[in-house]
């Protein structure tokens, strides 16, 4: 039985940087589709397609490359983050909320035969929806991404890792702009989507959540720090700081993507001329 819809993997994209003639994996991002309010003549819903990752991934960069799969190989597209001094992406105005978004010209991907999908908002679980469904601490999740630059040689191969929600309450979300999961997160996982693992059974008095909801975006891991002191001094002086992965990670709730989408529209970044896959708005769903 498949608990993770296979098409979810085609929504996950490797973010790379180019140095000389070589490409190096940097982080993870993914495509989402938000309903545009318009339909085709055949009555099919049109979506605005957005690429989502972390603010700290885009910050202070002029350009990144997005690597998509195409059959048995992959294709890289350059994405300018700044053009003529104008920033083409948006981060959340609250610096605690580590999330960024940019429009994607999905019609270009379709023309090029790229193997891609997007996660549509019918499969989003916002903070309110999570509470309504009873999603809470202990519920299992999947993390999809490219930790430690393990992307694959000929094409992207998304790594799927398991974890569970460790802390989900109003206090931590309001103070940190995130909630916590218990999962091993490493460099490269920044921007990874976090997907609720569907359940077919539940404890008495509750209903199982049988859909793989997108619940958030990985921001960072939380490291355990321990300081070694030189006891030969008075008082003892700190000499070395040891850090270990605590297996706790911060996850930005999916709610904040809507706020970035509104700002992208207000700033006029949904239209205009640009290269390759940036800047266009609507595409018919392929899901």
Residue 32: enclosing H or E segment and its boundaries?
A: strand 22-39
Among 91-95, 135-139, 210-214, 244-248, which is the least confidently predicted range?
244-248
> Which helix (DSSP H) or strand (DSSP E) does residue 259 occupy?
helix 256-266
pLDDT of residue 197: 94
Computed over every residue of the chain, the mean pLDDT equals 86
Token pair belonging to 258: 């809507």
Mean pLDDT computed over 94-109: 90
Chain centroid offset of residue 213 CA = 13
pLDDT at 132 over 80: yes
Cα gap 280→105, rounded to integer Å: 5
What domains appear along the chain, each with residue ranges and CATH number? 6-284 (2.40.10.120)
Residue 286 has a pLDDT of 38
In terms of Cβ atoms closer than 10 Å to its own Cβ (0-12, 13-18, 19+), residue 84 is exposed
- Is the per-residue pLDDT at 282 higher than 50? no
3-state secondary structure at position 265 = helix
Between 31 and 245, the more confident residue is: 31
Asked if 118 and 73 touch (Cβ cutoff 8 Å), the reply is: no
Looking at residue 101, its pLDDT comes to 94
Mean pLDDT of 64-79: 95
Task: Residue 56: name the closest of 85, 81, 31 by CA.
Answer: 81
C-alpha span between 74 and 68 (Å, rounded): 5
- The percent of residues above 70 in pLDDT, for the chain, comes to 89
For residue 278, count other CB atoms closer than 10 A to its CB.
Answer: 24
**Residue 284 pLDDT > 70:** no
pLDDT tens digits for range 156-190: 999 999 999 999 999 999 999 999 999 989 999 99
Cα 134 to chain centroid distance, Å, stands at 23
The structure tokens listed for 63 are: 């350009």
Token readout for 201 is 């059974």
Query: Once rounded to an integer, what is the mean pLDDT over residues 52-81?
Result: 95
pLDDT of residue 50: 92
Is the pLDDT at 285 greater than 50? The verdict is no
Question: Which of the two residues, 157 and 40, has the higher pLDDT score?
Answer: 157
Residue 5 pLDDT > 70: yes
Judged against a pLDDT cut of 90, whether residue 129 lies above it is answered with yes
pLDDT at residue 201, as a whole number: 60
Measured CA to CA, the distance from residue 110 to residue 273 in angstroms comes to 18
Decide if pLDDT at 265 tops 80.
Answer: no
pLDDT of amino acid 155: 94
How many Cβ atoms sit within 10 Å of the Cβ of residue 286?
14
The model's confidence at residue 275, banded by pLDDT at 50, 70 and 90, is very low
- Give the pLDDT confidence of 215-261 residue by residue, as tens digits: 999 999 988 777 777 777 878 877 777 677 789 999 999 999 988 88
Residues ≥6 apart with Cβ < 8 Å to 112: 70, 75
Give the tokens for residue 102: 């940019």
């Amino acid at each position: 039985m498949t608990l993770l819809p296979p098409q979810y993997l085609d929504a996950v994209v490797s973010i790379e940087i180019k140095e000389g003639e070589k490409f190096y994996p940097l982080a993870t991002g993914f495509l989402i589709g938000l309903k545009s309010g318009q339909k085709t003549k055949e009555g099919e819903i049109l979506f605005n397609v957005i690429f989502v990752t972390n603010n700290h991934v885009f910050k202070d960069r002029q350009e990144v490359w997005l690597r998509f799969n195409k059959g048995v190989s992959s294709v890289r597209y350059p994405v300018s983050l700044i053009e003529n001094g104008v920033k083409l992406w948006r981060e959340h105005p609250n610096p605690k909320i580590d999330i960024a978004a940019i429009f994607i010209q999905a019609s270009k991907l379709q023309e090029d035969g790229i193997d891609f999908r997007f996660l549509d908002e019918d499969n989003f679980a916002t903070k309110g929806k999570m509470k309504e469904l009873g999603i809470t601490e202990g519920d299992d999740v999947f993390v999809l991404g490219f930790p430690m630059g393990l992307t694959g040689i000929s094409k992207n191969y998304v790594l799927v890792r398991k974890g569970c929600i460790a802390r989900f309450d109003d206090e931590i979300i309001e103070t940190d702009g995130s909630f916590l999961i218990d999962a091993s997160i490493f460099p490269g996982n920044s921007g990874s989507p976090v997907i609720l693992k569907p359940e077919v059974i539940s404890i008495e008095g509750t209903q199982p959540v049988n859909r793989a909801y997108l619940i958030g975006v990985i921001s960072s891991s939380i490291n355990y720090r321990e300081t070694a002191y030189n006891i030969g001094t008075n008082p003892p002086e700190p000499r070395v700081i040891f850090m270990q992965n605590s297996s706790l990670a911060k996850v930005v709730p999916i709610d904040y993507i809507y706020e970035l989408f509104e700002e992208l529209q207000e700033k006029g970044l949904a239209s205009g001329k640009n290269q390759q896959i940036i800047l266009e708005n609507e595409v018919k769903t392929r899901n």
